[in-house]
Structure 1
Amino acid sequence: MFSGTKKMASACWGPVRRYVRMNRDDSAADGEICTDDSLIWSRDLEKHFLGEFSFAVVQANELNEDHSQVETGHAATFIGVYDGHGGPDASRFISDHLFLHLMRLARDRGTMSERVLCDAISATESGFLNLVRRTYAIKPAIAAIGSCCLIGVIWGGTLYVANLGDSRAVVGTLCQPNKIVTEQLTREHNASMEEVRQELRSMHPNDPHIVVMKQGVWRIKGIIQVSRSIGDAYLKRPEFSLDPSFPRFHLPEPIRRPVLTARAILAHKTLTA
């Protein structure tokens, strides 16, 4: 039975594998629509084992900082949104590695679960911090590069969602003809929200500058708004404190404990026809 579920795990995405990355040099595949505005991208309706689906992407930052990823197969669909900041390295690393970690863990465990999503994100974070460690001496600015991460997996009639950062997952249900009821599945991790500021203050009671109002915006250590991310090593590891030659990201004193975390908030929802 277990060997059968392992085969099912690898077969879910195996037949059809599609990366969707928003790059200036990428050309649209069949059925993809790239408008004159290169920050907007969409794909028309396609068949899915639960029905039909389509999607559209509106990009927020520089072209090379944000990435999206879609993987489809006979029995599962994976969607990832990676909102990068500080540079392209983290969001690109996530799009190259997260889905592969997810598939490996699902295959090894023979199923999909919130734990699988959490462990895949942790493995991606560890891999990127290792990259920072290897390249920090020649590229210290990589320690200030990070990315928010929102992923969703439809598997066996259940939608699994994991989020860290200030993206938001919303699901819509068609209750009546022409009436869609929406449900927010994740909350943002942004210092502009009172509950996030309270969480940070409770975790850092001896740091009066853990959240600072700067130029009318609440920021963690006066620098960044998101409280969870992949990357941003200089706010997680004291050894990655940036050189003063990078004043935008320089901390007046080394951190004693991680200021940001890569711990994802997880949710799941049973889908009905």
Structure 2
Amino acid sequence: MMFPFKFRMFKKFAYCVFIFSCFYRLAHVCLCEVITLNYFYCLASNNYIFGIGKENGSISEDIIRNAVSATEDGFMTLVRRSFGIKPLIAAMGSCCLVGVIWKGTLHIANLGDSRAVIGSTGRSNKIVAEQLTKEHNACKEEIRRELKSLHPEDSQIVVMKHGTWRIKGIIQVSKSIGDAYLKRPEFSFDPSFPRFHLPDPISRPVLSAEPSMCSRVLQPNDKFVIFASDGLWEHMTNQEAAEIVHNNPRTGSARRLLQAALTEAARKREMRYKDLQKVEKGIRRFFHDDITVVVIFIDHEMQKKNVNVPELSIKGFIDTVGPSKFRSFQEPQ
């Protein structure tokens, strides 16, 4: 299953990519998921990044970091207003992977275990994959050590449950947007919500919304960037993904990666790909995690030429052409 993302493009080498992979998709709180996405679109893509960027004449790590912070604050305000009516909104959370290419520099912010991988050509024109993001998942020993260091008084900060390391026995990721019940004591759940109830209530946040940042000046041999949720990376390596993109036509690259991941997921369950496709959505989660993929190709020649590039705003699988918020950054001709 794929989830909504937002993509905006404007010439002069500027792109924005937003990918979401929601943890909890409970039927009776689907509206919360939509609200979560809209909050990020409004705060990060439409207002904060572009507004502050326009004032400074550029986009930087600090601007993106502050946009993520504004998104978290905005959603927490929504949780506070809605908790009494729809308490499960406090359990809504999302990984967040943001990529911005601005004037030849790629900026990435990451919360959770989504991943950005850049494909660059090496010797003999062979593609080489490089992971740009750090994954905030309790399966990583580094993350477990960090959590234990931050919470030395809590012997249950990270526990093994159902064969997987989980924070407080519930969640795998250590950073996210939302998940208010693991960040604010006032949003804790009572035993009537057994899935999210903590026997020992938290006194301070056990999850963070502080993103890991990465900036990279793009080089002529950098060819493309793959942005994908962890559902893809469970079934292929960085190098395998890069080779699939590099060795095939550009058109359909993301779909090709998705199909390769699902084929491998089916193989692991001793199924055929076409049989996996027949499994109903509600049951598919037992076979593979949700997968969202975006592939951005880097055309260095376009930066040198005065090429007319259509303004694109793509949201939730619907291609639209219209005004872009990058218009405010257009350089004089």
State the TM-score bracket (shorter-chain normalisation): 0.7 to 0.9
State which of 48, 69, 73 in structure 1 corresponds to 2:6: 69
- 1:120-170 C-alpha deviation (Å, 9 max, x unpaired): 000000000000001111000000000000111000110001101000111
Report the secondary structure of 1:181's partner residue: strand
CA distance in 2, matches of 1:85, 1:102: 25
CA distance in 2, matches of 1:247, 1:108: 47
State which of 61, 83, 87 in structure 1 corresponds to 2:21: 83
Which residue identity lines up with residue 229 of structure 1 in the other structure? S
Shift in Å, 1:95: 3.3
Q: Percent identity?
A: 53
Q: Are the equivalent residues in 2 in contact too, given 1:70–1:78 (CA < 8 A)?
A: yes
1:170 aligns with 2:108: no
CA distance in 2, matches of 1:265, 1:136: 29
CA distance in 2, matches of 1:213, 1:91: 31
CA distance in 2, matches of 1:108, 1:198: 40
Please say which of residues 123-132 and 76-85 is displaced more in the overlay.
Answer: 76-85
State which of 75, 79, 99 in structure 1 corresponds to 2:45: 99
CA distance in 2, matches of 1:235, 1:133: 14
CA distance in 2, matches of 1:233, 1:173: 39
Q: Are the equivalent residues in 2 in contact too, given 1:201–1:210 (CA < 8 A)?
A: yes
Which residue identity lines up with residue 190 of structure 2 in the other structure? D
Q: Are the equivalent residues in 2 in contact too, given 1:67–1:92 (CA < 8 A)?
A: no
- 1:97-134 C-alpha deviation (Å, 9 max, x unpaired): 32122112211222111111100000000000000001
* Counterpart for residue 159 of structure 2: 212
CA distance in 1, matches of 2:147, 2:199: 19
CA distance in 1, matches of 2:181, 2:67: 22
Shift in Å, 1:92: 4.3
CA distance in 1, matches of 2:155, 2:37: 31
* Counterpart for residue 128 of structure 1: 75
Shift in Å, 1:96: 3.9
- 1:226-251 C-alpha deviation (Å, 9 max, x unpaired): 00000000000000002322110011
CA distance in 1, matches of 2:124, 2:42: 40
Which residue identity lines up with residue 98 of structure 2 in the other structure? I
Shift in Å, 1:178: 4.5
TM-score of the two chains, using structure 2 as the length reference: 0.61
Report the secondary structure of 2:122's partner residue: strand
Which residue identity lines up with residue 95 of structure 1 in the other structure? Y
Shift in Å, 1:194: 0.4
* Counterpart for residue 238 of structure 2: none
Which consecutive unaligned segments of at least 5 residues does structure 1 have?
1-38, 40-58, 60-65
Shift in Å, 1:94: 2.1
Higher RCO (Cα < 8 Å, 6 or more apart): 2
- Listed as ranges, the matches of 1:123-202 within 5 Å are 123-176=70-123, 178-202=125-149
Shift in Å, 1:86: 1.6
TM-score of the two chains, using structure 1 as the length reference: 0.74
Q: Are the equivalent residues in 2 in contact too, given 1:189–1:196 (CA < 8 A)?
A: yes
* Counterpart for residue 7 of structure 1: none
CA distance in 2, matches of 1:253, 1:91: 31
How many residues get paired? 210
Q: Are the equivalent residues in 2 in contact too, given 1:84–1:90 (CA < 8 A)?
A: no
CA distance in 2, matches of 1:125, 1:71: 21
* Counterpart for residue 36 of structure 1: none
* Counterpart for residue 294 of structure 2: none
CA distance in 2, matches of 1:102, 1:243: 38
Which consecutive unaligned segments of at least 5 residues does structure 2 have?
26-32, 221-333
CA distance in 2, matches of 1:268, 1:225: 26
Report the secondary structure of 1:148's partner residue: strand
* Counterpart for residue 16 of structure 1: none
Which residue identity lines up with residue 137 of structure 1 in the other structure? G
Question: Cα RMSD (Å) of the superposition?
Answer: 1.4
